[in-house]
Structure 1
Amino acid sequence: MSQPQHGQDGVPGNQPAWGNQPPPSNQPAWGNQPQWGGPPAWAAPQAGGPGQPAPGWAPGAPYGQPLYVAPPKPGVIPLRPLQFGEILDGSFQTIRRNAAAMFGSALIVQAIGAVLIGAVTVGMVQMTSSLETVNSEEEFLEAMGPVFAVMAGALGISVLIGFLGSVLQGVLVVPVARSVLNRRTGFKQMWMLAGRRVWPLLGVAALLTVGGLLAVAAVAGIVVLLFTAMGPAALLVVLPVGLGSIVLFVWIGLKLMLAPAAIVVERTGVYDGLLRSWQLTRNNWWRIFGITLVVAIMVGIIAQIVQIPASLAATAIGGVVSPHPDQETVASTMVVTTVISSAIGALVGSVTFAFQASVLALLYMDLRMRRDGLDVELMRLMETGADPDGIPGAPSSQPGSTGQPPGGGHFPYTPPGQRPPA
Structure 2
Amino acid sequence: MTTSGEQWPVGPWVPPGWASGPSAPKPGTVPLRPLHPSDIISGVFATAGRYRKPLYLPLLVLALVCSLLLGGCAWAALSELGRLPADGGQPADGQFTRAAWVVGIAFGLALVCATVAYAATAALSTTVLGHAVLGRSVTAREAWAQARPQLGRVLGTQLLTAAAALGILAVSALPSILLGVTLNSPAPALYGLFMLVPGLIGALYLGVRLVIAVPVAVMERQRPAAAIRRAWQLNHGAWWRSLGVTYAVRAVGSAVSQTITSVVAAVALRLVLSDALTTEQLDVSTLSAADLTLLIVAVGGAVVLTTTLSAPLRPLAVGLLYLDRRMTRENLAAGLAAAAGLPPELQHG
Q: Same fold (TM over 0.5)?
A: yes
Amino acid at match of 1:253: G
Distance 1:145 1:310, change over 3 A: farther
Q: 1:303 aligns with which of 240, 257, 261?
A: 257
SS of structure 1 residue aligned to 2:312 = helix
Contact 2:215 / 2:319 at 8 angstroms: preserved in 1?
yes
8 A contact 1:73–1:79 mirrored in 2: yes
Cα deviation, residue 341, structure 1: 2.3
For each residue in 1:172-216, what CA deviation from the matched residue of structure 2 results, as whole angstroms up to 9, or x when unmatched? 212212222211221122233334434433433454456567777
- Quick one: which of 84, 96, 100 aligns to 2:53? 100
Residue of 177, 182, 192 corresponding to 1:237 = 192
Counterparts of 1:267-416 in structure 2, within 5 Å, are 267-320=221-274, 333-383=291-341
Q: Displacement, 1:345?
A: 1.4
Contact (CA 8 Å) 2:29, 2:47: kept in 1 or not? yes
Offset, 1:87: 0.9
> 1:375 aligns to what SS in structure 2?
helix
Distance in 2 of aligned mates of 1:313 and 1:253? 39
Q: Which residue of 2 aligns with 1:54?
A: none
What code does the residue aligned with 2:192 have?
V
Q: Cα distance, 1:369 vs. partner?
A: 0.4
Q: Partners in 1 of 2:297 and 2:179 — Cα distance?
A: 43
Q: Contact (CA 8 Å) 2:173, 2:196: kept in 1 or not? A: no
Alignment of 1:3-402 (within 5 A): 70-122=23-75, 133-136=86-89, 146=99, 149-150=102-103, 153-154=106-107, 156-208=109-161, 229-231=184-186, 234-238=189-193, 240-320=194-274, 333-383=291-341
Contact 2:173–2:192, Cα closer than 8 Å, also in 1: no
8 A Cα contact 2:84 2:95, kept in partner:
no
Q: Aligned in 2, Cα 1:253/1:108: closer, same or farther, shift over 3 Å? A: farther
Quick one: structure 1 residues 373 and 171, their matched pair in 2 at CA, closer, same or farther if it must change by over 3 Å? same
C-alpha distance in 1 between matches for 2:167 and 2:289: 37
CA deviations 1:120-155 (Å, max 9, x no partner) are: 55556667766782233657x965973685367336
- Is the contact made by 1:126 and 1:331 (CA closer than 8 Å) also made in structure 2? no
Contact kept? 1:166, 1:260, Cα under 8 Å: no
Which one-letter code corresponds to 2:156 in the other structure?
G
Aligned AA (1:236): Y
Question: Structure 1 pair 124/213, CA: closer, same or farther in 2 (3 Å)?
Answer: farther
Distance 2:108 2:292 in 1: 21
Q: Percent identity?
A: 21
Q: Deviation at 1:88?
A: 1.3
Bigger drift between 88-97 and 377-386 goes to: 377-386
Please, which runs of 5 or more residues in structure 1 have no aligned partner?
1-67, 387-416, 418-422
- Tell me the TM-score normalised to structure 2 length: 0.75
State the number of aligned residues: 318
Tell me the CA shift for residue 289 of structure 1: 1.0
Deviation for aligned residue 1:94 = 0.9
CA shift, 1:83, in A, is 1.1
2:30 counterpart letter in structure 1: I
Structure with the larger RCO, 1 or 2 (CA within 8 Å, 6+ apart): 2
* Alpha-carbon separation, structure 1, partners of 2:289 and 2:79: 7
- Cα distance in 2 between the residues matched to 1:325 and 1:196: 49
**Cα drift, residue 167 of structure 1:** 3.7
Contact 2:172/2:198 (<8 A) preserved: no
Q: CA offset at residue 314 of structure 1?
A: 3.8
Q: Which runs of 5+ in 2 are unaligned?
A: 1-20, 278-282
Partner of 2:14: none
1:230-284 Cα offsets, whole Å, 9 max, x none, are 435643321x222223222222222333222112212222322221111111111
